[in-house]
Each structure stands twice: as structure tokens, then as C-alpha cells.
Chain A
Amino acid sequence: MTWVNAVVHGILLGGLYALLATGLSLMFGVMRIINLAHGSLALLGAYMAFLLVEHAHISAYLALVPVLPGALVVGYVLQRTVLERSLRSGMLVPLLTTFGLLIVIGNLLQEFFSPDVHSLDPGAIGPAAWRITSRLSIPAFDALILGIAILVLFLLQLVLTRTQIGRELRATAADPDAAELVGVDSRAVYARATAIAVATAALAGVFFAMRSTFDPTSGPTQLIYAFEAVVIGGMGSLWGTLAGGIVLGVAQTVGAQIDPQYFALAGHVVFLAVLVVRTAVESGGLRVRLRGATT
């Protein structure tokens, strides 16, 4: 039963990884940008919520009300001012740009918030759990995060399939030049995609901060987990991202069941195994599509 418990906890943990990975997957699917600053932007969201909790004395949940629209704006401006220019110079430049952003955000957070470790209060739901048997319990907060991840993916899919903005996004992802020729302003589409991506990152960051502790160096670690979830789930696929997050989460909790030291290692091993198998199968290179959006 302890193994079942480990698997259940892994599935729930996968919700957080999926939430973290959604924006990364979206940006890669639409613009082929691998956003190395994604984890740092999530962390930035967490710190903004932290500021509001400390100074406005509101709950972390309520802090999402201003933080999420703020993140949309940050994403939009980021694309329009920095990433748009980088994209014009080829594939590698956005990689360097976002790497620079990662460092800048990390150092700014260090400067303003000190290297102290913080945490956000998840409220009464934090320690709550449904006890099924003496060895199997379901942590309520992790279940909430998984529920939110599914909701976010569902809403995103709805936007992608049912709205003009979504159709333009998919058309631009498929062929930006052809999309331009039927009147789609690809730069506006890219800015919207980044705005959505940064907002989901901030959402994930706030929940991450409620679930565990965070400090200014937490960004890159979160980026690695998100990145692994995206790769395991198939680059640019929305529901694949959820599957990837869950596979990663289960690998980690099952690994930790064998030995607590194997938590992170088991995740990395599964990621590597998937990567090797996939590159072998699709030796023509990783196929890039917003698969999840239409199936």
C-alpha cells in the first residue's frame, strides 16, 4: 500500500509540474522559444504574492487577483520589447535572452528580498488530507493544485479551439508567414501567447510557494522540472504536458519510496530515458505541434 500511496502522491505532484510546464509548452509550441526564464518568472509571481501578503495582509489566494493580470502585462511587454527583437535574429538568440533574464530576475530578487527562505500560507487546506487507509492518504492541497492544472489546461484548450484568438494562435504556430497573409498579426499573437504563458507561470509559482519554501534561487530548479515535464509529454502538446508532469511526479515519489535520496534522481532518469527513446523513434527530429489543442 505504501507503493500505491507513493504513486498517488506522484500523480498529484504532477499537477504542480504540469501547471509550471503549461506556459513553457505554449511558448515553445507557438514561437519555438525555449524560455529559460520561465521558472524565474514563476518565482517572480510568488514574490509579488509574498509582497501583497506581507504588506496588504491578504491571503495568498486573494493575492492572485492582482498578480495574474499583472503577469499578463509583464508577459505582453516582455514579448513586445525583448523577445520579439530576439526572435528576429534566429533560434539561438531567444535562448540567450531568456538565460540573461533568468540571471537578472534571480539577482534582482536577491537584491530586494535578501536570500532568506520564505513560504506562503496555504490556509487550512495546507495540512489537510483524506485518509483512505492507514497507509494511503490524499493530501487535499496537492489535489487542489492538480484540479487547477486540469482546469487551466481545459480553459486553454477551449480558448485555442473555440475563439478567434486561439485559431490565430494555432495558425501562427503552424505557419507564421501564411498566417500573416490572411491578416494575422503574428507579433500580436506572440505577445498574447507570452502573456498567457507568464500568467500560468505566476499561478504555478504562487502555488509552489504555498506548497514548499522558496528563495531567490528557486527559479532554475522549477525550470528544470517544468522542462522535463514538457519533454516527457511531447514538446508543445498541452495535454501531453499534464501526462509529462504526472510521469515526472510519479517517478520522483516512487524513487523517494526506494530511498529518499532518489527523489530528484529518479525524475531525471525517466526524463533521460524518454528523451533517448523519443529521439531514436523520431530520428527526423522532435515534431512540433500543438497536438493537444485539436485532439
Chain B
Amino acid sequence: MDEGVKLLEAAGVRKRFGALVVLDGVDFAVGAGEGVGIVGPNGAGKTTLLNVLAGTYRPDGGRVLFRGEDVTSRAAARRCRLGIGRAHQVPRPFGGMTVFENVLVGAGAGGRRRGREKYRQAIDVLELCALGDLANRRAESLGLLHRKRLELARALATDPEVLLLDEIAGGLTEGEAAELVVTVGELRRRGIAIVWIEHIVHVLVQAIERLVCMDGGRVIADGDPDEVMRDATVVDAYLGSAAVR
């Protein structure tokens, strides 16, 4: 973390839904170009953290900073235009629109490109996510793998500096997940920082160099993936003894 400036940062973030405290003072940061994985049991607050970072939820306490600037009160659309991209666990393609149009919405609204460049951006992103052949298909007619790729492509089209990925490999086969790792690797080579929530840890560690473990709305471990995975509290909270192989 020390090697770069903090690109996106959550400082003491709290979020509750009614009586349920989901985020209990989370400190989290990702540097420019860095790859960070987030693991933790269900209900640990991982997705909520991404939602607070992306601006879908406003935190009840704490701040969100982008390049040191306080963006806590900025709406999701504004944050996207600043350079924060977000892909959902359950893909949410825009129904009634083609794959190309889906990506074009992101390229035009969230990206900084206008006119013809916007189309070029959309085509580039579709190629990168191996969706070129499906560009004219209706988004809702895609299968799960392609929906997941479209979710990624649409977020990428907005030209993010940091991409928040929520279990985009969930429900995919080993081979499909491996392809996804290759794609994410390419994004990293392009200098895009990645924050990736994933349950399939061995897939995750191929694409990131830092691992954060959350439990009960807190960060309980943060650092080198191997060390975090060996951490006694992490094993206890999340993996259980059987998972340590």
C-alpha cells in the first residue's frame, strides 16, 4: 500500500440498516493501479462497503475519499464520472437494449469521451471482454457468463481508474473463471486499480497482490494474501479449519 498514493479510501465508514450494523467503522484504501481482494463470510459487509464506495449508499458515519478529495456526499453518477466503476454480483443489463447499446450508455455517460471516440471505446471494451460477436444481441438474451462479461464491459466503458468487482466469478465454471482472471490481468496492465470481492479465493489470488478479510462489519486482516489466509482470526472467522489445505 505504501508504494502508491491512496486512490480510493474509506475512513471510519459506518452503515446500519435499522438496528443491524453492517459496517462498523471500516478503514479501507486502494492505491492507484493496485489489486486488492476482499474475502469474508456472508454478512461481513463486503458488498455494502462497495456500495458505499460507489455511492449507492450514503454512510451513516465516516468519509469516502477519492484522490484525497471527500466524495461522501457525491451521487453515484458523479463518482462514476470521476473514475469509480462498479460491477454487480448479479448482472444488471439494461433490458430492451443491445449489448453494444448497454456499453455505449456507460461510454457516453460515465466516460470522458464524446462523439466518435465513444463508439471506439465501446468497441474496444467489447473486444477486451470477448463480447464482440454478441454486440447486436439483446442484453436480456445472454447467458450467465456473457451477462457477467457485459456487466464488466459496461463498467469498463466508463473509463474507471478503480473498478469495484462484486463476485463476478460466482456461478462460473473453473475454465470461465480462469478466462476472467486473464481479463482482469489485462485491466491491471492498463493501470486500472481493482477491488474484487470473491469467495473463490484461489481464483482471486491470481489477480491481486493484497487481501483484506472482513467479518462483522470490520476489517480483521489486511496484507499479503498468503499471510492473511494463514491468519488465525481469518481462519476462525471465515474459512474454518477444513478449508486450510
Q: Which residues of A pack against B, CB within 8 Å? A: 164, 167-168, 170-171, 174-175, 177-186, 289-291, 293-294
Contact = CB atoms under 8 A, between A and B. Distances in A.
B149 interface: no
Interface in B147-163: 154-155, 157-158
B97 A171 contact: yes
Nearest to B80: A183
A180 B75 contact: yes
A183 B76 CA distance: 7
A29 to B, nearest CB: 10
B105 A181 contact: no
Interface string B75-93: 1111011000110100010
Contacts of B76: 177, 180-181
Nearest to A188: B77
Interface string B95-117: 11100011011101111000000
Given A164-B108, A167-B101, A168-B105, A180 B80 contact: yes
A183 B108 CA distance: 8
Contacts of A174: 94-97
A185 to B, nearest CB: 4
B96 A182 contact: no
Q: Which 7 A-B pairs have the closest CB atoms?
A: A183-B110, A182-B106, A183-B80, A183-B109, A180-B76, A174-B94, A178-B92
A190 to B, nearest CB: 12
Interface string B45-88: 00000000011100000000000000000011110110001101
B94 A179 contact: yes
Contacts of A186: 77
A185 B94 contact: no
Interface residues of B toward A: which range? 20 to 34
A180 B77 contact: yes
16 contacts: A167-B104, A168-B105, A168-B108, A174-B97, A175-B95, A177-B92, A178-B92, A180-B80, A182-B106, A183-B77, A183-B80, A183-B109, A183-B110, A184-B110, A185-B78, A185-B109
A182 B155 CA distance: 6
Contact of B106 (A175, A183, A289, A293): A183
Nearest to B103: A182
Contacts of A291: 96
Given A168-B105, A179-B105, A185 B77 contact: yes
A164 B104 CA distance: 8
B109 A170 contact: no
Contacts of B105: 164, 167-168, 171, 179, 182, 184
Nearest to B139: A174
A198 to B, nearest CB: 24
Nearest to A186: B77
A177 B155 CA distance: 13
A171 B107 CA distance: 13
Contacts of A177: 56, 76, 92
Contact of A167 (B56, B108, B138): B108
A164 B105 CA distance: 7
A182 B158 contact: yes
